[in-house]
Amino acid sequence: MNLENRKYFLVGLVVFTGILFLSRLAYMQIFDPTWSRRATEIAERRREIIPPRGTVFDRNWNKIVVNQISYNLMVVEEKLTTFDTASFAKLIGWEKSEVRERLLEIKQNEGYYLNPATGKRESNFRKDRPYPLIKDLSLEEITQIAPFLGDYGGGIYEEPVGTRYYPYPNAANIFGYMSEVNQEEIEKDPFYRPGMNIGRSGIERSYEAVLRGIKGVRYIVTDATAHEIKPYADKKFDTLATPSPNLILGLDINLQAYGEELMKNKKGCIVAIEPRSGEILTMVSSPGYDPNLLSGRKNIRKNYPALVSDPNLPLFARPLQAEYPPGSIFKLLQSLICLQEGKIRPNSVFSCNKTVVGCHNHPTATSVAKAIQYSCNPYFYAAVRKVIQPNLANTKEQDAEIGLENWYTYMTAFGLGKKLNVDIDFSAQRGGLIPNAHYYNRYLGKGNWSFSTICSIAIGQGEIKMTPLQMANIAAMIANRGWFITPHFVKSIGNKGPRAVYLKKHVVPINQQHFNVVIEGMRRVVYEPGGTGSEARSADYVVCGKTGTVQNGKNKKNHSVFIAFAPKDNPKIALAVFVENAGAGGVWAAPIAGLMIEKYLKKSIVNLEKEQLIKNTKL
């Protein structure tokens, strides 16, 4: 072989060897999972440090959600070199068969994957990885077991885990609950590993990324038997766990507890908001439950089936999920729209013509404020008709489409017909219903409807639906004379304040002078003869409110609703009270609202007799 040929041979050999190595490397990295699994095993020579979950405070710095330590008994199969099933079963109070079944269950729960290299179905279970064998052991239980765990070769050990404890047995629908992560969640987010908990609903879910903190890492050097020898690189690469910042809520836990007392043995809800900030002061859903009933795996297994099957629906968050016709409280919004559109003036008069729509006996409403005071149905029928039929088209049907779309624009600006995006469980919230022309065209047919067909919307009935949260927000918007901040629970994440979205003012397209007219009507509802909200009256501050009696179908008792804010000037609280099957709004919802306002503004109640009557009444 001459020199030239030898040169080409050597170059070819080098190129061939390079291609061979690159091909093998590509196969190992892309097609054969064995090496990536081995790399993961090596990486697990590090120990993750999980910080304690964040504490939650109310607006007055009362601790309302704290951590309580329980223990998981962890098992690492490859270290079970001296495992006596019988003695271990006796130690934990199980049968031998139960231990074997639990070990098998752990393997099965890990699932399987298809190995592309072998084409075989292989288990995700890893003998070198710790898995929770028994969960949520108390300190007393682990104290009896721990001294004997050394008998099992290091293959079984205790691991502290944080479970939640709620010092106040209230606000379960706000806090939500936690439960163990599933395999999909573990694969999706490397923060989690088997046996850890994750927020499932409420604040625990919405602020999961904040409350869980940031993991730390401790690297170690192990011997051939995987026992720890010393820290790696003298802890040079270790990182500390970062605890979660505290969450400070706008919630007043004492007001929340008081609201739950008032609503005991009743179905319905109370939502109270601080108008200036949009912070939710209380959100009562009745019937409710003690949040500690769903704290920890044992409690969930014991109590969740009973709660989910309870016909009174304690897990149903009525303030966010229930959609009710608003009834006469809707007249406040109709007044604002009619005034803004110039269809009526503050002193406009309409007769109480009961042949058009039913009404109760009252003097003629000679102004918008008096129409609100008397809650005159024919008055609002006549006023809203001018908005829905603005005389801008050739036919009344075409005219109604134009007018309704304009009316619909106002209603959506008020935050209706869509979710308000409060900072818990957005997916579980409902948006209510505000019908537009498309809605009626779909269900009645285009050209088949006009105001006379849909006139019930003028008084908050028919297709109109609102959540109690939206009702309270309307009270806050009116209290602010034309703007609102999206209602929210978290006042501050650490010392950083709330999320940016909860700082934005939403200004509605209504001139401020029109709010003065409506607010005077709300004052008259509570303080003037013929007003239906006198049970919310206070001599120490001015309450502005509006009652509603919501029709509930044939042979069913009507719902009672009341929205209000106080004081009239510089309002501190706006709220909605909705009591199912309780009759007129002034009978039950108004006095409950009055007590809630008094409790918040004065911290005590003067009329204890009324308070006890409401607490003791079952509806």
Alpha carbon distance 190, 301 (integer Å) = 26
In the chain, the N- to C-terminal Cα span, in Å, equals 107
The tokens for 81 are 């070199």
Query: In the chain, which residues fall in CATH 3.90.1310.10?
Result: 46-249
Which of 283, 338, 35, 46 lies closest to 171 in space, CA to CA?
283
E-only strand ranges, 153-205: 156-165, 178-180, 197-199
Please list the alpha-helical segments (H only) found in 292-354: 297-309, 318-321, 331-340
Q: Which two tokens mark 51?
A: 């910080």
Distance CA 498, CA 511 (A): 29
Q: What angle do CA 297, 163, 138 make, to 5 degrees?
A: 75
Vertex 539, ends 537 and 541: CA angle to 5°? 85
pTM for the structure as a whole: 0.83
Query: pLDDT tens, 357-392?
Result: 888 889 999 999 999 999 999 999 999 999 999 999
CA distance 550 to 581: 9
Architecture in CATH of 253-302+315-616: 3-Layer(aba) Sandwich (3.40)
- Residue with tokens 């440090």, as numbered in its chain: 49
> d(Cα 475, Cα 273) in Å, to the nearest integer?
9
Counted residue by residue, the chain has a size of 619
**Inter-residue contact 583 to 561 (CB < 8 Å):** no
Q: Which of 58, 89, 459, 121 shows the shortest CA–CA distance to 274? A: 58
232 Cβ contact partners less than 8 Å away, ≥ 6 residues apart:
45, 219, 220, 221, 238
- Determine contact, residues 286/318, Cβ cutoff 8 Å: yes
* Helix (H), strand (E) at residue 151: none
Say what the pLDDT of residue 465 is. 96
CB 244 within 8 A of CB 51: yes
> Other CB atoms closer than 10 Å to residue 32's CB: what's the count?
16
Question: So what's the pLDDT on residue 456?
Answer: 94
Q: Which residue stretches of the chain have pLDDT < 50?
A: 35, 37-44, 223-226
Give the separation between CA 452 and CA 439, rounded to whole angstroms. 16
* Token duo for residue 197: 């908990």
CA distance 160 to 595: 44
CATH 3.40.710.10 domain locations along the chain: 253-302+315-616
Query: What residues pair up with 134 in beta bridges, in sequence order?
Result: 73
Q: Please give the class, per CATH, of domain 46-249.
A: alpha beta
